[in-house]
Chains A and B, each alone.
Chain A
Amino acid sequence: MHETRSHETTSIEPGTKGETPARRPARRRRIDMRALSPFIALAVLLVLGAFTSPVFLSVENLTNVATRASFIAIIAVGATFVIAAGGLDLSVGSMAALTAGVMILAMNAVGGADVSTIAIGMAVALGVALACGLFNGLVVTFGRIEPFIVTLGGMGIYRALVVFLAAGGTITMTDWDLRETYRPIYFGDVLGVPIPVIVFLVVAAVAAVVLYKTPFGRHVVAIGSNEDVARFSGVPIRRVRTLTYVIQGLCVGIAILVYVPRLGSATPTTGLLWELQAITAVVIGGTALKGGTPFVWGTVVGALILELVANIMVLSDFVSEYLVGAVQGAIIIIAMLVQRSLQRGR
């Protein structure tokens, strides 16, 4: 972990490794490869896709894919905080479904096709997601329970609440005009860039600033790298760790703001397995599961890679529908192997 710490975070490193100046140039080069490797994997995938299908590189297809990747990208940015601090959140998929369900119910209850109805819905969504995140965080830190267990519990609770609210059916926006008012948030664009893409770029940019340029960000990395050292250095462990889950909640809330206008509904299967996709995106992006060294932009690229792999599978004609899952899995593993070998090669 320490050997591969990125340059952005070296300021908090207490210099305990005692590395010699002579080794520095080699180290810096390796660090660059680590940050770059997700982008290289993305480029390789784009080339592969271009060979697979003539429509792959069309603007229409690429904007479709980038827009679809936005939910996982935004959620995975939040997961980058949690994982960098040595935690884990398995509840994000269920949390997303619950947030979407409550948001739609709130908008249906308020009624009217005005922008104000959507604003209320958005506030409710962010509130629900923040509350879920805070709950996860507090139980992990003050309850001193493994995050795996806490968020697995959260996963069950939030999912059951959606099922309960929907009575097993579907929660749908009832006001057709309101749907039309809200629809552009997913389907609209600014100068050709889809709004969800703008949202995830902004979220990632803000996250990068928070992680790399603020004391809070340095605390997150310090806890993830070595909790004991961080504690002795006076880092407020519980507060920082709880906040990472709150940030995760916030990101789920934001993702839902662009998710709901797409289909205008939430079902008990909404957000199923999103937690695994988010974690995979984070890991593909170069952030280690054991904590420390967050790569926000790598995470975003990881989310894009996941969606691109699925896209290539559908566009290609030579993979049977029965084998899609296997080929998808293989591509992800190969991408990771390529990345790792790039990091090792000096």
Chain B
Amino acid sequence: MRKLAITALAATGVAFGGAALAQDQNYTIGVSIPAATHGWTGGVVFHAEEAAQMLEEAYPGLDVIVQTSPDAPSQASAIEDLAAQGLDALVILPFNSDELTGPVGALAGRDPDLFVTVVDRGLADPSIQDLYVAGDNPGFGRVAGEYFAQNLDDGAQVVVLRGIPTVIDDERNEAFRAALDGSGVEIVDSQYANWNRDDAFRVMQDFLSKHDRIDAVWASDDDMALGVIEAIRQAEREDIRFVVGGAGMKQMVQRVMDGDPMIPVDVSYPPAMIATAMAVTAGSFYSQAPVRGTYVLDAELITQENADRFFFEDSPF
């Protein structure tokens, strides 16, 4: 985290060169995020809290309030409570697009000066937001697909584990398939495993019984990859060359870093995008640089060479 936050701050520092001039101004940024209910949101909470501390140090006069909510209705109330404290900007990672569009829209309507930053899951009405920061879901599938196409031979057989049936999962999966087009790599099977380690173990055990030859597995998520690896180990199969997960979980990045032949790469979908959103939002107050727009963070291929950039010792994820 530290490294990324510094990079992010350095970037804002360069982009908003006038920062020092305006640092005596007082601004309040409210950050509303889902409570840590699974690994990725755990990472979001961690990075939001780290970024809040760093930004307050970097910009005296800036106050950052981080608020977590266990579900969509309480997030709607939480942003009301935040607004009551007199916000200049709201950074929100909504539970879901539809339920929170209304509450955020109402808030923005009441206070036209409120700067609204939306992260990861877009609102149903994009005109509400001033800034949108998100991960690249099609890119997430494409980067993995390209790795498969480049590193597997013509006629190689691949199995795919999918997450929970959602738009996100569809986008990733379609892009993965598109990237394999024409490479001769064949997807022989695909099943939902709900981004869950136990389900992935179960599905992979059955894939291993069903298919005599599997060259590689796209687990599409690091949690699922861990279940897959355990199933392969139990079956004592030598034909599987590698497993690719995704998201950038600490344990998996560690294995990429260590050069584990089963986990040669990972694909990033960083929870630290919340820190990017917060840094750019803060920057908007302390400089004249234009920041409004959409920021899509690349889904990057994490390799042994660059893995240290994605490894955050203290993060729970």
Write the residues of chain A forming the contact surface with B, with a CB cutoff of 8 angstroms.
53, 55, 58, 60-61, 64, 68, 163, 166-170, 172, 187, 262-263, 265, 267-270, 272, 310-311, 314-315, 321-322, 324
Contact = CB atoms under 8 A, between A and B. Distances in A.
Contacts of B18: none
Interface in B10-40: 35-39
B39 A169 contact: yes
Given A262-B230, A263-B227, A315-B209, A322 B46 contact: no
Interface residues on chain B, size class: 35 or more
B251 A170 contact: yes
Given A61-B209, A263-B227, A321 B191 contact: yes
Nearest to A170: B39
B259 to A, nearest CB: 17
B192 A168 contact: no
A268 B38 contact: yes
B234 A314 contact: no
Interface string B37-64: 1110111011000000000000000000
21 contacts: A53-B210, A58-B209, A64-B206, A64-B209, A163-B37, A167-B42, A168-B41, A168-B45, A169-B316, A263-B198, A265-B197, A267-B39, A267-B223, A269-B194, A272-B196, A314-B202, A315-B206, A315-B210, A321-B192, A322-B165, A324-B192
B140 interface: no
Contacts of B198: 263, 270
B38 A168 contact: yes
B316 A167 contact: yes
Contacts of A167: 36, 42, 45-46, 316
Contacts of A170: 39, 223, 249, 251, 316
Contacts of A310: 202
B172 interface: no
A168 B42 CA distance: 4
B36 A168 contact: yes
A219 B14 CA distance: 76
B206 A311 contact: yes
Given A163-B37, A267-B223, A314 B316 contact: no
Given A168-B36, A272-B196, A321-B190, A68 B205 contact: yes
B316 A166 contact: yes
In the complex, the 5 A-B pairs of residues with the closest C-beta atoms, listed nearest first: A168-B36, A168-B42, A169-B316, A314-B206, A167-B316
Nearest to A259: B198
A269 B165 contact: no
Contacts of B226: 263, 265
Interface of B, helix, strand, loop or mixed by DSSP: helix
A265 B194 CA distance: 17
Contacts of A270: 197-198
Nearest to B235: A60
Given A55-B210, A166-B36, 13 more contacts: A163-B36, A167-B46, A168-B39, A168-B41, A169-B42, A263-B198, A263-B201, A265-B197, A267-B197, A269-B194, A270-B198, A315-B210, A321-B190
Contacts of B315: 169
A193 to B, nearest CB: 16
Contact of A60 (B35, B38, B209, B227): B209
Contacts of A315: 206, 209-210
A225 B25 CA distance: 73
Given A64-B209, A263-B198, A172 B45 contact: no
A306 to B, nearest CB: 12
A314 B37 contact: no
A64 to B, nearest CB: 5
Contacts of A324: 191-192
A167 to B, nearest CB: 4
Contacts of B205: 64, 68
Contacts of B165: 322
A95 B250 CA distance: 26
A53 B223 CA distance: 29
A58 B201 CA distance: 19
Contacts of A268: 36-39
B39, B196, B227, B251 pick with most chain A CB within 10 angstroms: B39
A310 B207 CA distance: 12
A56 to B, nearest CB: 8
Interface in B302-317: 315-317
Given A168-B316, A321-B192, A55 B209 contact: yes
B317 to A, nearest CB: 5
B142 interface: no
Contacts of A269: 38, 194-197, 223
Nearest to B226: A263
Nearest to A315: B210
A321 B192 CA distance: 7
A200 B316 CA distance: 34
Contact of B38 (A53, A64, A263, A267): A267
Contacts of A272: 196
Nearest to A314: B206
Contacts of A172: 251
Nearest to A264: B230
A64 B202 CA distance: 9
Contacts of A163: 35-37
B45 to A, nearest CB: 6
Interface in B184-215: 190-192, 194-198, 201-203, 205-207, 209-210
Contacts of A262: 201, 230
Contacts of B37: 163, 168, 268
A291 B39 CA distance: 39
B43 A169 contact: yes
Nearest to B212: A55
B270 to A, nearest CB: 15
A265 B197 CA distance: 9
Contacts of A267: 38-39, 197, 223
Interface string B167-196: 000000000000000000000001110111
